Every structure is written in C-alpha cells, then in structure tokens.
Amino acid sequence: MSVETISEEELRKSLDMKKLPKHIAIIMDGNGRWADRRNLPRVDGHKAGIDSVQEVVKVCGELGIQVLTLYAFSAENWRRPTLEINALMKLLLDQLHEQTPDLNEKNVRVNVIGDTDRLPRKVTYELQRSIDITKNNTGLILNLALSYGGRQEILRATKSIASEVESGKLKFCDINENVFARYLYTSEFPDPDIIIRTSGELRISNFLLWQCAYSEFYITDVLWPDFRKKHLLLALISYQRRKRRFGGI
Ligand code: FPP
C-alpha cells in the first residue's frame, strides 16, 4: 500500500478498531534533513515537526489510544549546538503554553519521562503546569520523553532498587521483572506495542530499552515534518497484520 494512491478513508476502513495498540511510541526523526533539503536552518525543521505532533496527537485521541510516547529530546541531544538546544526548548515552552488548553479540552493527560532536572526552569514550570491542568483527564496520555535515555532510566531504577534493598524496604529475592518495571519512569503504562521511527534510520537510539522487548518496529522513510494521519494509519495497519508471539509459537 502506498500513501499516494490510497485515501485516508480507505485506510481508516482497513483498520480493525478492536486490534488497536494500547501504547504507541514514536522516534520523531528527520527534522534536520527536512530543513537541509529546503536550504533552511535546522530549527525550521523542528518547527515544521510541530504540525506532525499535533496531527498525531489528534488522531491517537480520536482512535482511543491509551498512551502516545513521543521522543522529543534525548539525553544525548544535550550534545547539540547551544543554539539548536535553546530553539528546541523555546519551541517546547511555547507549544506547552499554547496547546495545553486545547489538549485539556480534548481530555488529553500530559506526562513526562526523563531527567527533567536538566531542563531549563521555565520549561519545567510550563511542563508541571500542563501536567497539573490535565491530571484528571481520562483520554489519551501524551507522554513526552524529554532529556530521556533508556540506559539512564535503567541505571536510575537499579540505584533506587539497590538503595531500597540496603535500607531493608525491599528484599533481594523479591526483585523480578514486574518489580523492576515499577522503578522505571513508565511504571504506570503498558509497554509500547509499536515503536515508529521516521526518516529511515534502523536504530533504537537509547529509547525505551527495557520496555521495547516485545514492541513491533515500524520504520518509514518519511521525514517527521512530512508524517501525517495517513502515515500513522499505514503504520497501524502494518502492526495489525503482524503475528505477535512474545517468544511463544
Ligand atoms: C530529531 O530530528 C528530532 C528532534 C531531536 C526533536 C523533535 C522535536 C520536535 C518535533 C518539536 C517539539 C516537540 C514537541 C512534543 C512539542 P533530527 O534533528 O535528529 O533530524 P536529522 O536526523 O535529520 O538531523
């Protein structure tokens, strides 16, 4: 199936509403290349990516998806030039400020995972405001991965567990996969059923390393600023055609 030749309506009809994933996670990649191809500054690629974020959030809400995790800023993205980091933080700040009333109206709950202590104070303030305003909403959980790294998350969980074993709050023999998962940022969410990566790169880039054990991967060459409803529906149809065996037969 190709996006160009098929209509949104046809795609929507091919979707089995009873077999939708509970948790969709997206590595939004290709903003820089999108801008390069147009001889624009990289930041313009990030700005253009906002439209894709808004569309994907809207569609996930309408479909009744439980959790949408967006990899918006990785722990390693702090290595980018200060100018780009500042522009990304400003975008985030403005988006949180502008979009929170609309997200709230759409019954979306905002959540964040990652080392938020590293974020600028203004961003953490706006994030907390958005989380507080939307905390009682019962629709889509928009989970923003910010200053997030999978290895860092696993290390953080391990340290918390070690400290609780040391203080006697947790018994060594009681540590198992379920207990471990309770110490991750994502403790309240199911593991992602599908991880979508745009721009064709075939890697996980330190994203949800523990949680992706049995996720279905969907890689598309489409650059993030070009990713639209049709692309998301195609990804979901591909997901629904797979046989998930979780190691069984
Ligand atoms: C990766 O593209 C994208 C990012 C590091 C940032 C993603 C951020 C946004 C889409 C905007 C803000 C998000 C929200 C949730 C409001 P890249 O720069 O690595 O692209 P490249 O690989 O082509 O250089």
**Structure confidence by residue, pLDDT tens digits, 69-126:** 999 999 999 999 999 999 999 999 999 999 999 999 999 999 999 999 999 999 999 9
Give the atom of ligand 1 at the shortest distance from the alpha carbon of 34.
23
pLDDT at 5 > cutoff 90 = no
DSSP assigned state of 229: H
Residue of minimum CA distance from atom 15 in ligand 1? 72
Ligand 1 close to Cβ of residue 192 (< 6 A): no
* Token pair listed for 24: 């969709």
Residue pair 210/154 in contact (Cβ under 8 Å)? The answer is yes
Active site residue 77: yes
Vertex 100, ends 120 and 41: CA angle to 5°? 55
- Residue 244 clears pLDDT 90, i.e. is over it: no
Compute the distance from residue 194 Cα to the ligand 1 centre, in Å: 19
**CB 71 within 8 Å of CB 31:** no
> What is the residue type of 59?
V
pTM: 0.97
Which amino acid is it at 204?
I
70 in contact with ligand 1, CB cutoff 6 A: yes
> 240: helix, coil or strand?
helix
The answer, yes or no, to whether residue 3 has pLDDT greater than 90, is no
234 CA → ligand 1 middle, Å = 21
pLDDT band at residue 1 using 50, 70 and 90 as cut-offs: low
| 167 burial type by CB count under 10 A (0-12 exposed, 13-18 middle, 19+ buried) | exposed
Q: Is the CB of 238 under 6 A from ligand 1?
A: no
Residue 16 has pLDDT above 90, yes or no: yes
As a whole number of angstroms, the distance between CA 100 and CA 108 comes to 9
Q: How many angstroms separate the alpha carbon of residue 66 from the centre of ligand 1?
A: 23
Give the gyration radius of the chain's Cα atoms: 19
Interval 163-172 mean pLDDT = 98
pLDDT tens profile 173-207: 999 999 999 999 999 999 999 999 999 999 999 99
Tokens of 103: 């997200």
Mean pLDDT of the chain: 97
**CA distance linking residue 93 with residue 66, whole number of Å:** 24
Distance from C-alpha of 236 to C-alpha of 218, rounded to nearest angstrom: 9
Q: How far is the CA of 191 from the centre of ligand 1 (A)?
A: 23
What CA–CA distance (Å, rounded) separates 183 from 161? Answer: 7
* Cα four-point dihedral sign 201, 53, 91, 46: positive
